[in-house]
Amino acid sequence: MLFRHDALAAWTKSSYSAVNGDCVEVKAQEGLLVRVRDSKDIDRSGLGFSAETWSAFVLDVCDRPGA
């Protein structure tokens, strides 16, 4: 797993947030589920991904040139 599950206990904004605040937020939930939501639409629970799927996505993005 790429991250400590308890490190994302609260909604956390992307470190690549735009100056105007447009970004995504992530939060870990019980059962090794990771939620991703739009920071402008916090009333929705967001999309759910397994921790393995989220970790694979993050690793793939970080592996790309210019990332």
pLDDT tens for each residue of 19-29: 777 788 888 88
Give, as one character, the DSSP assignment of residue 6: G
Q: How far apart are CA 4 and CA 36, in angstroms?
A: 16
∠ Cα 55 15 32 (to 5°): 30
Q: What pLDDT does 47 receive? A: 93
For the chain, what is the domain count? 1
Q: How far apart are CA 15 and CA 18, in angstroms?
A: 9
Q: How far apart are CA 50 and CA 44, in angstroms?
A: 18
Task: Give the domain extent around 46.
Answer: 5-63
Residue range 54-65, pLDDT digits in tens = 888 888 888 777
